[in-house]
């Protein structure tokens, strides 16, 4: 069995769809991003949101095609899939993998997993521009390592969040690193390590995602309880 087979199996279990584009030959880092995407989507569904899937053209999708490299949200090289999340009374959100957003400096940054208002995504597709990072709801940096993680990953994350200035950012990894923990904790950044299928940490991450959705609803649909 490939080391990524449990990740793929959990993605299928969480998303309850026809097929996903990952296979045993996929890069573990790509599949890990898909796993975190799945945890976010499953969290929304568990707390009452309606979840559907669309391709870049807006067509409904049951067989999901995920990015395995950075790209533009509006890119049409393949019918890449995103999730649409709709909580009662609130504007829809979209969840994307591997798309770029524009920082306050004007520089583009790749986001491993991105949650943003559907309205901002629609502007991106219509005008063929990257979404504004400051308008995004959640950005998740995902790291999958079979060895110790270098401290540079945390420094890069700090630079990313400083320029994007979105509402919420999370650093998530499959393994731990004491130096990264100390670095991010000193800066009061959210970090969940050892997030793998069926781990307690997966539940902790979903708890953090719920807080993000709860905050979003407090602004847009305060009567909706999750």
Distances (CA, A) of 131 to 33, 67, 68, 203: 20, 17, 19, 29
> Residue 226 domain-assigned?
no
Per the CB < 8 A criterion, the answer to whether 65 and 100 are in contact is no
Per-residue pLDDT of 14-30, as tens digits, reads 998 889 999 989 999 99
> Residue 225 domain-assigned?
no
Buried b (16+ CB within 10 A) or exposed e, 161-170: bebbebbbbb
> Residue 206 domain-assigned?
yes
> Residue 114 domain-assigned?
yes
Q: To which H or E segment does residue 155 belong?
A: helix 152-164
How many residues are given for the chain?
Answer: 226
> Residue 97 domain-assigned?
yes
Per the CB < 8 A criterion, the answer to whether 67 and 37 are in contact is no
Quote the domain boundaries for residue 78: 5-220
Per-residue pLDDT of 174-217, as tens digits, reads 998 999 999 999 999 999 999 999 999 999 999 999 999 999 99
What pLDDT shows up at residue 2? 62
Q: How many domains does the chain have?
A: 1
In this model, does residue 226 exceed pLDDT 90? Answer: yes
> Residue 90 domain-assigned?
yes
Per-residue pLDDT of 53-92, as tens digits, reads 999 999 999 999 999 989 999 999 999 999 999 999 999 9
> Residue 87 domain-assigned?
yes
In this model, does residue 121 exceed pLDDT 90? Answer: yes
> Residue 18 domain-assigned?
yes
For the purposes of burial, counting CB atoms within 10 Å of the CB of 156, is it exposed (0-12), middle (13-18) or buried (19 or more)?
middle
Strands (E), the chain: 19-20, 50-55, 63-64, 81-86, 93-102, 108-117, 138-143, 169-173, 190-192
In this model, does residue 39 exceed pLDDT 90? Answer: yes
């Amino acid at each position: 069995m490939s080391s990524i087979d449990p990740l793929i199996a959990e993605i299928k279990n969480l998303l309850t769809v026809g097929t996903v584009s990952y296979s045993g030959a996929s890069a573990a880092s790509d599949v890990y991003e898909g796993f975190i995407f799945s945890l976010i989507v499953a969290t929304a569904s568990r707390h009452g949101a309606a979840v559907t899937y669309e391709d870049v053209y807006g067509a409904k999708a049951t067989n999901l095609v995920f990015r395995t490299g950075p790209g533009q949200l509006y890119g049409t090289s393949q019918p890449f899939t995103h999730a649409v999340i709709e909580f009662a009374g609130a504007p829809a959100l979209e969840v994307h993998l591997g798309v770029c957003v524009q920082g306050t400096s004007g520089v583009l940054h790749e986001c491993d997993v991105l949650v943003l208002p559907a309205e901002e995504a629609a502007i991106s597709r219509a005008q063929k521009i990257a979404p504004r990072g400051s308008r995004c709801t959640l950005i998740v940096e995902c790291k999958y390592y079979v060895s110790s993680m270098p401290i540079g990953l945390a420094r890069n994350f700090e630079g990313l969040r400083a320029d994007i200035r979105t509402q919420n950012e999370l650093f998530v990894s499959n393994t731990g690193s004491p130096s990264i923990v100390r670095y991010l904790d000193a800066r009061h950044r959210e970090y969940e390590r050892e997030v793998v299928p069926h781990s307690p940490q997966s539940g902790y991450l979903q708890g953090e995602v719920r807080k993000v959705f709860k905050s979003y609803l407090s602004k847009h649909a305060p009567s909706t309880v999750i």
